[in-house]
A and B are shown apart, each in its own frame.
Chain A
Amino acid sequence: ICEEEVGAAQQMRPMLFPRDVCVFLPDLPLLQVFAFDHCFWSIDESNVPKYAGQEVVFKCLGEGILENAFQGYNACIFAYGQTGSGKSFSMMGNGEQPGLIPRLCCSLFERVHREENEAHTFKVEVSYMEIYNEKVRDLLDPKGSRQSLKVREHKVLGPYVDGLSQLAVTSFEDIEVLMSEGNKSRTVAATNMNEESSRSHAVFSIIVTQTLYDLQSGNSGEKVSKMSLVDLAGSERVSKTGAAGERLKEGSNINKSLTTLGCVISALADQSAGKGKAKFVPYRDSVLTWLLKDNLGGNSKTAMIATVSPAADNYEETLSTLRYADRAKRIVNHAVVNEDPNARIIRELREEVEKLKVQLCQAESMKAPELQEKLQESEKLIQEMTVTWEEKLRKTEEIATERQKQLESMGISLETSGIKVGEDKCFLVNLNADPALNELLVYYLKEHTRVGADTSQDIQLFGIGIQPEHCVLELCPDGDVTLMPMENARTCVNGTMIDCLVHLWHGDRILWGNNHFFRINLPKRKRRDRLKELERASPRESFVEADVETASEASSEQDYSYEFAQMEVIMKTLGNNDPMQNVVQVLEKQYLEEKRMALEEQRMMYERELESLRQQLSPEKTPQHHRSSSDRLTFPMHTSHSKLRLWTEERDELFRQSLSRLREQVVKANTLVREANFLAEEMNKLTDYQVTLQIPAANLSANRKVRPLDHTSNHPILK
């Protein structure tokens, strides 16, 4: 029953997992899965979607190997599988479907012909040998020599077979002829010596030598690379004769013959070797492994093709082939670098680190002025570094926990780092002049949120102007959001001082106390929507609520920054009831008046000048002169006009600057005064601070060309 399943598994499963091959074991109800880099299904040509032809195999394996060879690196393809599983079909193919070797060779010569020129020449040679019973035989030796050849190593040429013929070829046809001759001599030798060819490995090598000439200097350089195509002994023989090298054999089998005692002992030595124990095991790898060892590591490319047959009675061979291939996959030529223990170097470096730190401290005390700053920096750095990493982590965590606790108790949300996440929630976000601190704190609003300095409050704020109980925010069930300031609690909404209940809208700015600016986020309460709604309800009525702003202003809700909020407060404060504003307005008016008068005066002055100039000009002057002089005359006229314009512009600009400077300073003063007042109140001092702008009478003429709002003369004075 089970044996039938093998065929089924082989034919059906591989396509489900293109890189795996599954095998049912007849003895056990187990499915074995092997993973390979590629899996080609070449059973039935008529099954077009599944069928992997020779072309596909070449594309997957051959091209990379060829590329490597042209770069000057070695490459190797092993073919392994039981007789009849299509091993030679994969490698050689037939007339209509050339296999990997013909395709590789054709591609090779194509490229050689394409790239060959005066400065770059190619030489292609081949060799063909057989390894039987750990002995190497030359298959291209015309004498059919039976003498076994020695495998040797050269420090420049690498591993080589001493005396192996290496024949030059110019086309695939040459190669084909040599291969078939080699195969003949392989058969003849096998018959003569009563051996089985399926017990021997055959290695066909293509050696590509590229010579690069530098035509100018006459120098030349060579790049040699070798592609080895290895036909491994048939797998059925390998498992019985052990010809493939003992290291690949199944783990639990027992070798019967005492001739293998050495392998067992060397395996013991290998298994027990601890790290760093150098041992020598005389049992070496097979000739084949040894010969190809440069292909099993480094930059070489190696591919192994394992062919299996789906025939049911071959399951055991198939399994052993797959196991073999699976093991082969893991063979890498490891050469571990044995490194000295570097305890002393480590210690020295530690000392150096300490020394550097000490040097830095000393430099600090010397107070070299140009280094002072850098040293302070490094000092801090060193202090940080002297704390061990674990300590640092622990401290960081401690601080974080503490901060979290503190923030939580103050009503600040810890869910998000910023306001991006709670987009659909109602919350307050702080505004700060420092971008690093701006929009950093998020306070989610509850149905009833109390704001104040007292610990009982939901949102605790501290600082000047914040009352123990400052304000209450309500989220009404109908979606309305209101703010109710307590008595004497300075609260501004969108810059306007508030002393009674107000409705809040998305994006409104709230100022509590002296400097707690917030923006409220009410995604469901957009002012714009509200306006539209109102318009729709009563299109004719220009209904504008006291705290409703224009739609255009509300459109950039998200962009309300600290600066905006602060300016807003300032402007509104200035605009409304502040006597200061009057002074400024008077100044402005005065300026305009003076400007007008000054201009008039200037104009008159120029006209006078003009007149005198005209008088200076004598009427006797020749017409041609007259003309030129009139030309000359126009010039000062022009200059005086443009001068005038320049002067006015300069004046205007100066005034604007001065005025805004004044405003700024007034605002600053106002803030300070407010602060002072809060403090005074808290200290129960009956003092009222206010800002008075004192301008010396002499300075009241705005058109004096003086420095604008000189600090000494024009500074607002605090009383």
Chain B
Amino acid sequence: MASLSSAEWRALCDKFTTAQNLSEVESRKDPANDPFRSKYKARELLREIYCALKSFETTEGENESGDQRPTEQPVDGEREDGFGRGFNGDSPAGLRAAKLGAVEYYLGVNHIETEELSAGQEHLMNCMKQLEKCSVSSENVSLYIHVRNQLGILWAGRDETEKAQGFLETAESIYQRYMKEVSLVLAYTHTMYYLAQVYKNLGEIERAATYCHSTLQRQLLLNQYNPLEWALNAATLSQYYITKGRYMEGRHCLSAATVIAGLAGEVPSEAAAQESETERERRDQLRQKRAEIARCWIKYCLNLLQDAEKLLQDNIGELDTERQEELKRARRGEEEAEEKDRKSALLFGSEDTFDSIASLEEKVRCLFPLDFTEARAVFLVGQTYVTQAKEYFEIDGYVTDHIEILQDHSALFKALAFFEEDLERRCKMHKRRIDMLEPICNDLNAQYYLLIRRQLMFELAETYNEMMDLKLSLANRQADTQPLDNHTIKKFNHLCSSSAKYFQMFLDSLCSPEGKFPERLEEEVLRPALVARFRVARLHSRLICSVPSAQLDNLNKSLDNYKYVVEYCEAHPEAVAAVETELELSQEMVGLLPIKINRLKARMATNN
């Protein structure tokens, strides 16, 4: 009998192990001038294995079957029903075909890795042919899927995304058809992941996200994951859901992320970290990843508040109470029921983690907050995560990250202020924003943090403006008919000029090193710069001032800034679309302000 002896088989197996080792481990050490040395060696070994298999087994007298089969090219996506014919996958003939197919598969991968794509493709297609000879079995289903995964990757690399999609979707359907028979295979996890990428490349973002979600689910199920890595991926996926307004899914991802990250173990103490570098590294990694997950939570809370705000605000950004009532009436249980339905499809976790994930989810709602109490609950959760994230991302060493967290904190306050009805308290919330942003804005080196400073300056300017408006409303509410008292005027003017100051700082930051304002504004600063001009104009005309000459001065500054907007848009008509309303009003003011100025002048003349 020419069948393989167990010794011979063992030799072949050793050879294969060597080849794998060469290909996966040794190849990393290959020199730059001979980068594929080990891969080529591995290829030789694989060829020897192939020849040995072929010569031994053809003598078994089964040659009538394999070579007489029609040599058509199996193309996936077109014919899916080619499985289950030929030999039984578990018969000797079936096993032989599977073995040959497997070697063809490894040869194919080897060729692809050494950039011989067409040769690689040929081997993979040979593998497909071998597999065609036998039905899918528990032994070979993994190969069925792997070869299609590889072909999918190959065609995706050639920009033939649809072809790649065909192979991968077949792999998926094979898995789904036989998954009852076979144990869970890792190959399928890869298929899901590759499909996620294919859909991403095809621009089918939603489907891609679903496949990413399934990949994560399978990693948990198969217990094949690194907790920190998995947690971070889940947290990142939550950011996708947040941008889509799917807060329930986002919250589930985040809760799972927090729980799974906890499985990575305790953070080593500072003392332990000082002892050894590994501990230091581990401490840093754990703290960083957890802080990053906290930052994802902050975004969850912030977006939830902001989306609710958008839903509830009227056309000038104030709380629309009618809408609020309407939404409250509509929210009667049905959403909760719907939530449960959707949830079951995408649950993460195993028995031991399920409860902790669920209890974490309960700490914050995923429905839009509709009043101050609800909003405050979301805000507080967000604020807790702010504190957590700032513990790792300290200003010293993590300037950008730290400031980004501060900006989020400020935004949380701003969103909460929307729900606050008491103007006094609302004003205090804005004051908190200024207190947290102003010092850092002035401390930062203007050269290294130019862009972040621009953001801060703009935000500070807007916040001062907001406070100014609130102060005025408050004063008007308290003393409706009386003129403003001196103290209020002083306060008002301080807020007004602070706002103008920061807008001006923002504009100054656009100047060239020589201090010249650019003649042409870059696209990303076009609108902010014109809006800043417009706002500065408005603020100058609002300053309360009893000395006519100073008032005249302010009005002239105001006019100059309105004029700038009008003239810039005349010189650069492409800018008009960006600032349509502001431009229209600037034009009006350029027409009206001179009259106001003249009247003031006339009054000054008669008084003299």
B34 to chain A minimum Cβ distance, whole angstroms, is 11
Asked whether, in the complex, the Cβ of B236 is within 8 Å of the Cβ of A265, the reply is yes
List chain B residues, Cβ under 8 A from A154. Answer: 396-397, 399
Q: Is the CB of B244 within 8 A of A282?
A: no
A279 vs B541: C-alpha distance when bound (angstroms): 37
CA distance A344 to B157 in the complex (A): 52
A478 to nearest B CB, angstroms?
54
How many angstroms between the C-alpha atoms of A38 and B164 in the bound complex?
38
Closest to A198 in B: B32
Q: Which of B209, B243, B296, B445 contacts A156 (CB 8 A)?
A: B445
Interface residue stretch chosen among B54-62, B86-94, B171-179, B590-598: B590-598
Contact among A71, A150, A259 for B513, CB-based, below 8 A:
A71
Q: Which listed residue, A157, A258, A272, A346, touches B215 by the CB 8 Å rule?
A: A258
Q: Determine the chain A residues whose CB is within 8 A of the CB of B535 once the complex forms.
A: 342, 345
Asked whether B197 lies within 8 Å of A341 as measured between CB atoms, the reply is no
Chain A contributes a number of interface residues (CB within 8 A of B) equal to 85
Q: Are B201 and A158 in contact, CB atoms less than 8 angstroms apart?
A: no
* Chain B residues positioned under 8 Å from A343 (CB to CB): 315-317
**Does A282 lie within 8 Å of B292, measured CB to CB?**
yes
Q: Which chain A residues numbered 152 to 178 have a C-beta less than 8 Å away from chain B?
A: 152-159, 162
Q: Which residues of B contact A258 (CB under 8 A)?
A: 189-190, 193, 215, 219
A345 & B243 in contact (Cβ 8 Å cutoff)? no
Q: Chain B interface: which of A355-363, A616-624, A661-669?
A: A355-363
Is A385 interfacial (CB-CB < 8 Å)? yes
Interface hit among A293-301, A568-576, A695-703: A293-301
Report if B416 contacts A (CB, 8 A): no
The residues of B that contact A378 with a CB separation of less than 8 Å are: 595
Instruction: Judge if A718 is at the interface, Cβ distance under 8 Å.
Output: no
Q: Beta-carbon contacts of B529-572 to A below 8 Å, as 1s and 0s? A: 00100010010010000000000000000000000000000000
B398-A339 in contact (CB<8A): no
Quick check: B399 and A155 within 8 Å, CB to CB? Answer: yes
Q: If the complex has contacts A262-B232, A265-B236, are A155 and B440 also in contact, measured as CB distance less than 8 A? A: yes
Instruction: List residues of chain A with CB within 8 A of the CB of B298.
Output: 280
A370 B602 Cβ-Cβ under 8 A: yes
Complex Cα gap A637–B447 (Å): 89
Please, how many angstroms separate the alpha-carbon atoms of A279 and B307 in the complex? 13
- Kindly report which residue of chain A lies nearest to residue B234, judged by CB atoms: A265
Whether B159 sits at the interface, judged by CB under 8 Å, is yes
Any chain A CB within 8 A of the CB of B196? yes
Within 8 A of A (CB), among B166-198: 189-190, 193-194, 196-198
Asked, given contacts A258-B189, A265-B233, whether A336 binds B524 with beta carbons under 8 Å apart, the answer is yes
Residue-wise interface mask of A (23-36) relative to B, using a CB-CB cutoff of 8 A (1 in contact, 0 not) = 00000000000000
Residues of A near B196 (CB, < 8 A) are 264
Contact mask B423-456 → A, CB, 8 Å, 1/0? 0000000000000000010011101111110110
Q: Which residues of chain A have C-beta atoms less than 8 A from B219's C-beta?
A: 258
Return the chain A residue nearest B399 by Cβ: A153
Interface string of B9-53 (1 = CB under 8 A from A): 000000000000000000001011001000000000000000000
Q: Which residues of B contact A341 (CB under 8 A)?
A: 317
Q: Which of A259, A299, A350 has the most CB of B within 10 A?
A: A299
Please determine whether B164 and A254 come into contact, CB atoms closer than 8 angstroms: yes
A1 to B584, alpha carbons, bound, how many Å?
63
Residues of B within 8 A of A252 (CB): 156-157, 159, 161, 201
Residues of B within 8 A of A315 (CB): none
Q: Across the interface, do A266 and B588 meet the contact criterion of CB distance under 8 Å?
A: no
Q: Which residues of A contact B293 (CB under 8 A)?
A: 282
State how many residues of chain B have any CB contact under 8 Å with chain A. 105
A371 and B447 form a contact (CB under 8 A): no
Contacts of A158 in B (CB 8 A): 445, 447-449
Query: Is A251 part of the binding interface, using a Cβ–Cβ cutoff of 8 Å?
Result: yes
Cβ-based interface call for A335 (8 A): yes
A71 to chain B, nearest CB (A): 5
Residues from chain B with a CB closer than 8 A to the CB of A156 are: 443-445
A353 at the interface (CB under 8 A from B): yes
Nearest to A27 among chain B residues (CB) is B158
Distance from A640 Cβ to chain B, minimum over Cβ atoms (Å): 54
Partner of B242, one of A236, A277, A294: A277
Which residues from chain B contact A266 at a C-beta distance below 8 Å? 236, 239
Contacts of B541 in A (CB 8 A): 352
Once bound together, how far apart are the Cα atoms of A253 and B458, in whole Å?
40
A337: B residues at CB distance < 8 A: 454-455, 458, 506, 525, 528
Which chain A residue has the least Cβ–Cβ distance from B396? A154
Min CB gap B553→A, angstroms: 19
A398 to B196, CA, bound (A): 60
Tell which of A83, A272, A352 touches B240, judged by Cβ atoms closer than 8 Å: A272
**Residue A338 CB within 8 A of the other chain:** yes
Chain B residues lying within 8 Å of A150, measured Cβ to Cβ, are 397
Q: CA–CA, A356 to B593, complex, Å?
A: 9
* Bound CA span A181–B201, Å: 45
**A265 engages B156 (CB within 8 Å):** no
Residues of A within 8 A of B147 (CB): none
Task: Tell me the bound Cα distance from A339 to B460 in angstroms.
Answer: 11
- Decide if A682 is an interface residue (CB 8 Å cutoff): no
A374/B189 contact (C-beta < 8 A), A337-B525, A349-B589 known: no
The CA of A252 and the CA of B162, in the complex, are separated in Å by 11
- B527 at interface, CB cutoff 8 A: yes
Asked if A338 contacts B455 (CB within 8 A), the reply is yes
Shortest distance between the CB of B335 and any CB in chain A (Å): 22
Knowing A158-B445, A253-B157, A258-B219, the reply to whether A280 touches B595 (Cβ < 8 A) is no
Q: Which residues of A contact B316 (CB under 8 A)?
A: 343-344, 347
A385, B595: Cα distance in complex, Å: 13
Whether B209 lies near A261 (C-beta < 8 A) is no
Pick from B240, B395, B404, B454: contact of A269, CB below 8 A: B240
Are A281 and B315 in contact (CB-based, < 8 A)? no
On whether the beta carbons of A333 and B32 are closer than 8 Å, the reply is no
Q: At the interface, yes or no: B462 with Cβ under 8 Å from chain A?
A: yes
Check if B152 is an interface residue, CB within 8 A of chain A.
yes
Identify which of B31, B233, B302, B398 contacts A261 (C-beta below 8 A). B233
User: For B233, what are the chain A residues with a Cβ–Cβ distance below 8 Å?
Assistant: 261-262, 265
Whether A73 is near chain B, meaning CB under 8 Å from some CB there, is yes
Chain B residues closer than 8 Å to A374, beta-carbon distance: 595, 598-599, 602
Q: Does A256 contact B (CB under 8 A)?
A: yes
Within 8 Å CB of A196, what residues of B? 31-32
Chain A residues with Cβ under 8 A from B591's Cβ? 381, 385
A152 to B209, CA, bound (A): 33
Q: Per-residue CB proximity of B304-343 to A under 8 Å, as 1/0?
A: 0010000000011110000000000000000000000000
Asked if A353 contacts B585 (CB within 8 A), the reply is yes
In this complex, the member of A273, A277, A294, A347 whose beta carbon has the largest number of chain B beta carbons within 10 angstroms is A277
Q: Are B531 and A360 in contact (CB under 8 A)?
A: no
Q: Does B375 contact A (CB under 8 A)?
A: no
Complex CA–CA separation, A298 to B448 (angstroms): 9
Given A159-B448, A265-B240, A280-B239 in contact, is the A349-B592 Cβ separation under 8 Å?
Answer: no
- Give the CA-CA distance A264 to B531 in the complex, in Å: 37
| Distance, CA A156 to CA B29, complexed state (A) | 42
> From A381, which residue of chain B is reached at the shortest CB distance?
B591
Q: What are 20 pairs between A and B in contact, CB < 8 Å?
A: A153-B398, A154-B396, A156-B443, A234-B32, A251-B201, A252-B161, A253-B156, A258-B190, A258-B193, A265-B212, A265-B236, A265-B237, A268-B240, A281-B236, A294-B449, A297-B451, A337-B454, A337-B455, A338-B459, A347-B316
Q: A265-B212, A338-B458 are in contact. List 11 more A-B contacts (CB 8 A).
A: A255-B197, A265-B233, A267-B200, A268-B208, A269-B240, A281-B239, A336-B524, A337-B458, A343-B316, A349-B538, A371-B599
Residues of A near any B CB (own CB < 8 A):
71-74, 83, 147, 150, 152-159, 162, 194, 196-198, 234, 236-237, 251-256, 258-259, 261-262, 264-269, 271-274, 277-283, 294, 297-299, 333-347, 349-350, 352-353, 356-357, 360, 363, 370-371, 374, 378, 381-382, 385, 389
The 8 closest A-B pairs by CB, nearest first: A158-B448, A335-B451, A298-B450, A282-B292, A153-B399, A269-B239, A152-B397, A337-B528
